[in-house]
Amino acid sequence: MKELAQEATARGRGVLLGGVAGLVLAASTAHAQTVAAPAPAAANPPAADDGLGTEGYYLEADLLIRDDKAKTITARGNVEARYQGRVLRAEEVVYDTTNEVIKAHGKVQLINADGTAQFADELTLDQDLNAGFARGFSARLGKNMKIASATAVRRTKTVQELNKAIYTPCEVCAQKPTPTWSVSADKIVQDKSKQMIYYRNAVIHLWGAPLMYMPVFWHPDPTAKRSSGFLTPKLGASRRRGVSYQQPYLYVISPSQDVVISPQINSSVNPFLNLDWRKRFYSGYAEARVGYTYEKDIDRTGQRFGEATSRSYILAKGAFDIDEHWKWGFNAERASDKLIFDNYGINDVYQQRGLFTSDDRRLLSQLYTTRQDQRSYLSIAAMSVQGLRVVASDPVTGLSTFENSDVFPMIGPLVEGRWEPESGVLGGRLRVRGTGVILTRSESEFGEAPYFNTALKGQDGVDSQRVNLSADWRASVTLGNGLRMQPFAQARSDAYKISNLPAISGDNSVSYSRGLGVAGVDFSWPFFKPLKGGSIVLEPMAQLAAGSDSSRVPVVVGSNYLGQTFLYNEDSSAFEFDETNLFRANKSTGFDLYEGGERLNVGGRATVNYANGRGGSLLIGRSFRTKDDPLLPLRSGLQNKASDWIVAAQVTPIPGVSLFSRARYAPGETQDNKWRHLEAGVDAATKRANGSIRYVRDNQDVNGLPLETFEARGQLNLTPRWAFTAYGQRDMVADVWRRRDLGVAYTDDCIRIDVIYQHEDRYSQAVSGGLKLQADESIVLRLTLATLGDTGYRQ
């Protein structure tokens, strides 16, 4: 017969239950947080209301014995106690009132309010929870994490210890007694006063086999907000560096400042040191990544040659609030060696770190300030560019070289402002915009690739100053029959001063101004028709515009080695004509090139949608002009009275599979040149496979050269755990594969392993001088362990 514990004193029952819970929770926290990567704490779900409140407790057993002679209180047989949302179960719990020691025996279990559970064969601890001992300890924590140890010892309030411990987030059962991966250690010690975790003789196991042994290491206690210590190491291999080991160390300078020191040890070349510094301020933040080594030039096989010298890089940024509207910021990007990121496997280089975005393989440094409110915006900036791209071979030497950064202009200041009145003007929306910029060049770009005009090589580059002021008005009216009309008007005034012109231009300095304007109306008339399970929308569209003639600044700024001359055009050289700007009054996004004249832009769009996700869209359009316009780029397809046809389509035939195509078709060209631009691709994701295919062909890219590439990537799931991965990138103009990856991936509930073979064409420094494009082969291992995050096994 079960008896309710009426004889137990309140002190005895409280200590009995609270002490056991405290020891087990402390031990489980010590181990679980040492092996798991730091993560934001999740709020525990509220405990079910058992009617006990925060101070009430309940104890139930087959037998409750109070021995006044021995001064003990014993609960025996199916002991179950509840206190503050926790449930304790054991075969026997004994409280020694003389020595103030609590002992629990036999299948001890503690179930917490959040669903986690701890288990032990035996528990012993003092009344004040300063010291305690558990034998045969184990725990089941959140995110399926499990730990076990032969013994768990709480030596003081701040020092806890697990002996012969093992941790895993993987499934473990009678049918699968060996987890996919686990970490075992002879001893794990948590020192809360120092906020550190110490390991002795730790081993990472994969499928029971030891993978990595670490005799001694330590890292910050994840319960601490921040603390110095070692971070996850990175291991990789390449033909250039050999085997590489990188061990990051976090050093906390202050509560608002830290630095990660990451020395990279290489088997084939000298070590490389990386530093990542961060600091938070009251009004903003600043970050800087820097790297340094002292080394010779290296080729793709790791062979060193030439003179040893210091090689370094910096990638820094910062942003600060001045007040509610004003902000300022900066970023600094520079490299002393243009192959440093390739040679040492530096990742995440070409990112936006400031107000403006740089191109791939180009570094942008900038200083800027902005002001913004609901009706206006102002920015003032200065910037410079360092080029890391390899340009075409010199027609004289035949060697490939890096682009010359001195031909890029120093931009500053660059001022841009926009303002929009709060109330409408003439029934429409008015926007006013002003810009100004000064560009300064150290060397002429026409002495470099792709121009190669040796007469201009080394000469001062063209400098310029530009000021623009423009106004844009637009209204919208929808008639009863659904026809939508949007009248618009734009006006702009530009002023230029261009200096340091080459001798072929005549004058050394030219000042120039112009006035530009356009007015017109946009029409769209959508027709809607319901379908069974979906709908279709047909929308004819047109834009009628008339204004000043197209314009480019009529100043000759250089020539190429063929004797062709070029007009001034700094910001519109990459002009493209596609579906995104078909119905723009001025298709040029820059200022130096302006599309004008009388023109009619027409097109139609059809859209089909079904409730199950299937559907598609098609847009076809064209632009017509009253006369030819030789000032527009030839590659744009807009020079003639009738432009190229613009076609854009997207189809989802079944859920998970999407096809798209974008094209520009020139009916008057020869058969080989009719498709000036063609882009097509497929994205697919099903239970068995996922991947994408991309094909791009341009008759002329921005440098006037043909472009044709093919790219494919995918993953085929052979079984629920095994998958085959592939990636390929082919340059169809050069008829070579630039990159080919083949891999095998294994994934289960707690691990992902990727083994990838890579074959990639890369530029490397040649012993004979110049750059060589050579094949580089490597094997890449990527290992991701659940709860530990990506371990960084990548090249």
Query: For residue 794, what pLDDT is reported?
Result: 32
pLDDT tens readout for residues 577-595? 889 999 998 988 889 999 9
Contact 615, 533 (CB under 8 A): no
- Find tokens 């002393």 and name the residue: 336
List all residues 6 or more positions away from 209 whose beta carbon is below 8 Å from its beta carbon. none
CB half-sphere exposure, 724, CA atoms < 13 A: 3
Query: For residue 83, what pLDDT is reported?
Result: 74
The helix or strand, by DSSP H or E, that contains position 19, with its residue range, turns out to be helix 10-35
Listing DSSP states for 726-794 in one string gives EEEEEETTTTEEEEEEEEEEEE-SSEEEEEEEEEEEEEEE-TTSSEEEEEEEEEEEEEEETTTEE----
List Cα–Cα distances, 307 to 266, 297, 298, 783, in angstroms. 19, 7, 11, 38
**Other Cβ atoms closer than 10 A to 701:** 12
d(CA 118, CA 87): 11
pLDDT tens readout for residues 104-140? 888 888 787 777 787 889 888 775 545 678 888 887 7
φ, ψ of residue 225 in degrees (nearest 5): -60, -50
Query: Token pair for residue 540?
Result: 């004819």
Q: Which residues pair with 87 in a beta bridge?
A: 82, 111
Query: For residue 53, what pLDDT is reported?
Result: 65
List all residues 6 or more positions away from 708 whose beta carbon is below 8 Å from its beta carbon. 696, 697, 698, 731, 732, 733
Regions of the chain short of the pLDDT cut 70: 1-55, 127-131, 141-143, 157, 219-226, 232, 392-399, 504-506, 671, 703, 767-770, 786-795
Query: For residue 399, what pLDDT is reported?
Result: 64
Query: For residue 4, what pLDDT is reported?
Result: 35
